Amino acid sequence: MTNFSRSLPEEDLKKRLHPREEDIRGHYFRDTTAIIHSYPFRRLRHKTQVFFSPKNDHICTRIEHVMHVATVSATICRALGLNGDLAWAISLGHDLGHPPFGHEGERIVSSLLKDRGGFIHEQYALRVVDCLINYGRGINLTYAVRDGIASHCGERFEQVIKPDFSLKNLGPGDAGGAGVRDLYPSTWEGAVVRMSDKIAYLGRDMEDALQLKLIRISDVPEEVAKVLGTTNSDIIDTLVNDIITRSPDLDAIGFSDRIFGALLALKTFNYRAIYRHEVFASVSKFLFRILSTLFSYLLELFVKFRYDSPAYRSEGNLLAVRFGDFCGKMRAFYESEAAEAETVVLDYIAGMTDDYALESIREIMIPSRFELQLNDIFLKSAAENP
């Protein structure tokens, strides 16, 4: 039986890219507050978890998902005697690299960057926290939190996870986050977050699909219903308690055979009945048009105007003005890294919320200023010809 005492030296785990004196909050709680106060974290409330731009207030958004991961991971850490503050910070930061429109948005962005190796949100998140927040300065997180963010991959389903206890060369995240998803966490807390990501989304996605009537409760596989339950709260409770009970004997963070079998059955069901539902296939082509059009348009603008913010106003739409303002504020950082045009455009689009991406595509087609001019013309005509 393990007591989870093995660890990298504390001075390595708490090391930052830039030296900073510890304050009353402690290293990891300070990281939590830095993440919460950042603009990318605030924008998560308007980013898709699974269901695009939901009008139903009870459907999970990206910010709710990270809060679910945080509460699940902190609960497990508390039970196993691990550092809850560290797990909380990793959880809140783990999806800061997600582009708009959820995993479908990530697939589309990756296809647009295929010549550069694609896009992986967990690795791109390092670029967000190390470089993009605060206009190129980042938020200077600890190694342990940065490592947990970069290695959280929620798409891999392992029965057990054990930290590699390695000190990785986590340079500021690369533009696009191109790379492989074979990183494992350096800490027990990072391993807990990696498991908690799956615990948090599988049951909740099923619950949302039931509420949207994409599936019926009778569709849920019998093994899932009997072993895990049919509500999100029951599923989370079963999975969390199993990890807490089994992990000490496994010398790792993991599930029992019976529970893991049911978890895989739930995953298979979700992919077949929810994530590959025809409604997503029909929406996907429109999302591709939106993101590819935005990418091409902004790339053309940047090649033309570069960092000359006032010049973007000649386009006559708010998207161009806002993008020009972004380029001006980020100029010093981009010039310091000799950023390519595609990198600048990626950073802007990846930071968009669903709503802002939809608003931006409308601005390209029918700028709000033009719409106001048309309204003025119609109103004037109506007044003159009652």
Q: Do 271 and 284 have their domain in common?
A: no
- CB within 8 Å of 292: residues ≥ 6 apart: 108, 112
Position 3 in a domain = no
* CA–CA distance, 327 with 118 (Å, rounded to integer): 23
Position 303 in a domain = yes
On the 0-12 / 13-18 / 19+ scale of CB atoms within 10 A, 216 is: exposed
The number of distinct structural domains making up the chain is: 2
- Specify the CATH number for the domain of residue 271: 1.10.3210.10
Q: What is the pLDDT of residue 379?
A: 46
* CA–CA distance, 344 with 291 (Å, rounded to integer): 15
Position 27 in a domain = yes
Q: Do 272 and 287 have their domain in common?
A: no
Q: Do 45 and 150 have their domain in common?
A: yes
Position 6 in a domain = no
* CA–CA distance, 237 with 235 (Å, rounded to integer): 5
Q: What is the pLDDT of residue 179?
A: 56
Q: Do 308 and 246 have their domain in common?
A: no
How many CA atoms does the CB half-sphere of 33 hold within 13 Å? 7
Position 2 in a domain = no
Q: What is the pLDDT of residue 83?
A: 97
Q: Do 155 and 142 have their domain in common?
A: yes
- CB within 8 Å of 10: residues ≥ 6 apart: none
Neighbours of 178 (CB within 10 A): 16
Q: Do 229 and 369 have their domain in common?
A: no
- Under a CB-based contact definition with an 8 Å cutoff, are residues 187 and 147 in contact? yes
- Boundary residue ending a domain (276, 307, 322): 276
Q: What is the pLDDT of residue 278?
A: 86
Residue 330 region, left (φ>0) first, then alpha (ψ -120 to 50), else beta? Answer: alpha
Q: Do 207 and 324 have their domain in common?
A: no
Q: What is the pLDDT of residue 335?
A: 98
Position 68 in a domain = yes
* CA–CA distance, 48 with 19 (Å, rounded to integer): 35
- Dihedrals φ, ψ of 46, to 5°? -115, 25
- Boundary residue ending a domain (276, 311, 329): 276
- Boundary residue ending a domain (220, 252, 276): 276
Kindly give the parts of the chain with pLDDT less than 70. Answer: 1-2, 53-54, 154-155, 172-181, 369-386
Position 1 in a domain = no
Position 77 in a domain = yes
**72: containing domain:** 11-276
Q: Do 270 and 371 have their domain in common?
A: no
Q: Do 253 and 335 have their domain in common?
A: no
- Under a CB-based contact definition with an 8 Å cutoff, are residues 184 and 151 in contact? yes
Q: Do 253 and 300 have their domain in common?
A: no
Q: Do 69 and 175 have their domain in common?
A: yes
Q: Do 283 and 222 have their domain in common?
A: no
